[in-house]
Chains A and B, each alone.
Chain A
Amino acid sequence: MRRGSAVVKRFSFVLNGKPVEVEVPPAYTLLETLRNVLHLTGTKDGCGDGDCGACTVLLDGRAVHSCLTLMAQVEGRSVTTVEGLLRDSSPDEVQSAYAESGAVQCGYCTPGLIMATKALLMSNPNPSVEEVKEALRGNLCRCTGYAKILEAVLRVRR
């Protein structure tokens, strides 16, 4: 199988708490690696340009666009995706809050929003409405009009 004129390198990182190694072109993005190589598809591909937030993951605990993160930038770091929030296959409280508040419609933006919410709550467990809006302003949702997303986040603040 040909990979064009590709350079392929080996990268090691921690994915959802487990060490993984992949062999991919070093300028592959983390998003391409998660979805197309590892077939871990909870992280969504909405635009590929860092404009929609659907691909948000945590890189060393901070929310980043996996579509704008090169594999070379992931080497040696820790990545958490929406799948990694499950504990013994039970959902995280943020995931439950989104599901129960009606914050999920088509759901394609949901994993990215949940990761952005998680990052917010890790650094600020009791955010104001304004702080929630600032933290989620880069995550586009076309279905909900955001009211129930806000409701879901406010439900899990301390």
Chain B
Amino acid sequence: MVQAQRWVGKPIPRRDALEKAIGQAKYASDLFPEGLLWGKVLRSKYPHARIKRIDVSKARSHPGVVAIFTHEDIPNNRYGPFNKDRPVLCDDKTRYIGDPIAVVAAETPEAAEEALGMIEVEYEPLPAVLDPLEAMKPESPKVHERGNIARQTHISFGNVEQAFREADIIVENTYTVGTQIHAYLETEAGISYFDENGRLTIVAGGQSPYRDRHEICSTLNIPEDSVRVVIPHVGGAFGGKDDISVQIHLALITLKTRRPARLVWTREESTIAGTKRHAGIIRMKTAARRDGVLLANKTEIIYDTGAYEGLGPAVLDVAIENCNGPYKIPNIDISATLVYTNNYVASAFRGFGAPQVLFAIESQLDAIAEQLNMDPIELRLRNALRRGDVGVFNNKLIGSVGIAKALEIAANHELWRERERYKSETARPWIRRGIGVASAVKGYTLGALPDKGQVGVELTREGKFRVRVSSTEIGQGVLTALAQVAADMLKCGVDDIQLVFADTLETPDTSVTSASRQLFLAGNALADAARKMLDKMRHVAAGLSGEPPEVFDFLDGYAISRDGKTRISYAGIARYMENNNIPLNVVGEYEVPRVEPIPGTLEIPHLFYMFAAALALVEVNTLTGFVQVRKLVVIPDAGKVINPQTFQGQIEGAAVQGIGYALMEEAKIENGILKTQNFSTYLIPSIKDAPEIEVIPVEDGEETGPFGAKGIGEIGIIPIAPAIANAIKDAVGVRPLSIPITPEKLYWLIRSKRSENGSQ
């Protein structure tokens, strides 16, 4: 008896939505433990300086101040996910404005703030290196002892030079991409305390309780079982809470003072000390045959990782892996460099290195289509990867590949078919409209890196299930989707699934919540747990009824024998198990399939990729350079949509972040100082900037995913910037090579073309 999917595919509202809407959901920043100390962090004034002396004596004796900590209080003062290059508190020198130097703990926020001003730091300013190209020169000031090249690699397949000689056309451009700030509405925040069992507990916004715990324990030199990390509701993350923020500082305060503490970054602190999307330079030379077949692509990628690596090495890999787009290209050559500078720290941000390179390759494709006078979608379709193809790294694509289908949907969409009509509808002579297309690709899972996760399932005495995952609810809705998956796997109602999440004490390690794969990973581990649980329950049903186990199947909370005569409720099974001391819990596990990395990389290739196509309709004011996006059509390859409501919400939200990335979000950094520290200078899209967004999923199913689902968390942002850039080119005839395409940048581009033509 096969049960139809009762919950998977249903647009049920998120389980935490109402609690959040009535103001009852508790975020880390909403917690005020009894007797808390207020934490504050003193940050570097200079982008690069030697610390000659730190004198905290005056601040320490200030009334209300309980403790002040410096690097001397940190046993192992370096951390980081790949390379331990980052100090908890700066010792020898500071490497960017915002580098933490001291942590204050005081009885009141006022005393904490006053104390910051009383800490004396004697700096010896050092020459700062703020341009990644400068930083790559050997004579440049060194950010770290080992030099400014954090990572450099070269990968080549085929023979690009020969292909360039044989090509009919070659397009070559240099693209620059700016720094994007996550700008989640809740800043980095947390509290810490000793629980009733004397366990140091950190409750803080994050994306991985186990990794946060590891960083806390390794730097403070305390055993991992003495620390509990809990991640409650998080007010947005998008990769920005993948790295450590407040956690170690909080643990330090509570460990040393034995008192609870609270540390919440201000908005300015968040924009300064939070991680960012890598700015970079991408040079690309692409060759094609007259009939549109791509022959070669040569790419040079330089990403500015700022003062510390963070997840930069992996971000660089994702850039390498996706810089050729979702296309078959027989000859590729990639040089990629991750550079240290005294700029702000770049790490994970939705898309993880891919949005930058997709902006480049998708602009290249458009330029090729234009030169060949070919429809841009036709050109893309001609080269699109299909399932079973061999990718550019000589890797066989065994997973689902939905890009061709997505492009076909785009080609048949009214906005594309009738684009000349859409373009003609403008109200003023200085307004021009254009329509652009772009594709996107990114691997989900951690690629060739080992990646394994566990999920616990427990049958409660009421006959319901408690599912334990360390997945974090960062706004994406993973808990609701997992409940739907669990209900269909365990054959019960979705409300019979209780989820316990993101707590190193209460949940097994489901690995990090990143790389668009938590539903895929946890869902598969859950399938394993569900199999084990139902197997146990089948045997109990057999014991209770005297019938053989194999006659039992499960439906709506009952074990039912094949002839339908015996029905035993889950509650009945639970009671029996409890009375007979049969453990009510199981742990499921899933290890993500992977292949060995190709030489010169950490995690390339992935076995599983996400795809999307997008269309953008823009309106350009040629007298100001202002671009308004009027409509977006986003067509993600979803495998299978588990929850249409949360799915659409993810894609729409990513698309609007993409508009911000493409047009307005510009972290302006001058001499190492961030000039856009708040929301009046760092502009993110408002409801008036958000266009109508149509989301059309491709659902071809991914056999390895739970119910055919694949990752979708990041793919929505990736095609947006190039689709908009291509639409702008269509509207005004100039190709933007630098994002964000701010009004001023575009205005000068249009102006220079106008003066070339000698008109007004």
Contact = CB atoms under 8 A, between A and B. Distances in A.
Q: Is the interface of B mostly helix, strand, loop or mixed?
A: loop
A108 B184 contact: yes
Nearest to B271: A47
Given A2-B107, A106-B186, A45 B29 contact: yes
B656 A106 contact: no
Given A43-B23, A83-B23, A48 B657 contact: no
Nearest to B657: A142
Contact of B185 (A52, A103, A145): A52
B427 interface: no
A143 B119 CA distance: 39
B707 interface: no
Interface in A37-84: 39, 41-49, 51-52, 54, 81-83
A48 B266 CA distance: 8
Contacts of B23: 41-43, 81-83, 111
B22 A107 contact: no
Interface in B22-42: 22-27, 29-30, 32
A144 B25 CA distance: 18
B13 A107 contact: no
Given A4-B110, A106-B236, A145 B17 contact: no
Interface string B87-129: 0000000000000000000011111001000000000000000
Contacts of B110: 2-4, 6
Contacts of A105: 14, 475-477, 649-650, 653
Contacts of A39: 32
B687 A102 contact: no
Interface size class of B (residues with CB under 8 A): 35 or more
Contacts, number: 199
B213 interface: no
Contact of A86 (B11, B16, B22, B653): B22
Contact of B679 (A49, A82, A85, A133): A49
B579 interface: no
B574 interface: no
A107 B679 contact: no
Nearest to B678: A49
A49 B680 contact: yes
B686 A140 contact: yes
Contacts of A136: 687
B26 A44 contact: no
A42 B11 CA distance: 27
Interface size class of A (residues with CB under 8 A): 35 or more
Interface in B627-679: 645-646, 648-650, 652-657, 678-679
Given A107-B233, A149-B687, A150-B687, A95 B21 contact: yes
A104 B14 contact: yes
Interface string B676-691: 0011100011111010
B108 A143 contact: no
A51 B645 CA distance: 29
A54 B27 CA distance: 14
Nearest to A150: B687
A30 interface: no
A143 B740 CA distance: 20
Given A45-B29, A91-B21, A3 B108 contact: yes
Contacts of A128: none
Contact of A140 (B18, B475, B654, B679): B679
Interface string B209-250: 000000000000000000000000111111000000000000
Q: Is the interface of A mostly helix, strand, loop or mixed?
A: loop
Nearest to A91: B22
Contacts of B489: none
Contact of B18 (A91, A102, A109): A91
A68 B121 CA distance: 33
Given A102-B645, A140-B686, A147 B21 contact: no
A156 to B, nearest CB: 12
A134 B688 CA distance: 7
A141 interface: yes
B655 A145 contact: yes
B679 A52 contact: yes
Contacts of B684: 140, 142
Given A95-B22, A107-B233, A102 B267 contact: no
A2 B64 contact: yes
Nearest to B644: A102
A10 interface: no
A29 interface: no
Nearest to B645: A102
Contacts of B475: 105-107, 143
A124 interface: no
Interface of A: 1-4, 6, 35-36, 39, 41-49, 51-52, 54, 81-83, 85-86, 91, 95-96, 98-111, 114, 132-134, 136-150
Given A49-B680, A145-B655, 19 more contacts: A3-B108, A42-B22, A48-B266, A49-B267, A82-B21, A83-B23, A91-B18, A99-B20, A103-B17, A104-B21, A106-B235, A140-B185, A142-B657, A144-B653, A145-B649, A146-B686, A146-B690, A147-B648, A147-B693
The 8 closest A-B pairs by CB, nearest first: A42-B23, A106-B475, A107-B20, A108-B235, A51-B679, A145-B652, A145-B656, A41-B30
Interface of B: 11, 13-14, 16-18, 20-27, 29-30, 32, 63-64, 107-111, 114, 182-187, 233-238, 264, 266-267, 474-477, 645-646, 648-650, 652-657, 678-680, 684-688, 690, 692-693
24 contacts: A2-B63, A41-B30, A42-B23, A44-B186, A46-B187, A47-B267, A48-B266, A49-B267, A49-B680, A83-B22, A83-B23, A91-B18, A91-B21, A95-B22, A99-B14, A102-B13, A102-B17, A104-B20, A104-B21, A106-B233, A111-B23, A140-B185, A140-B684, A145-B652
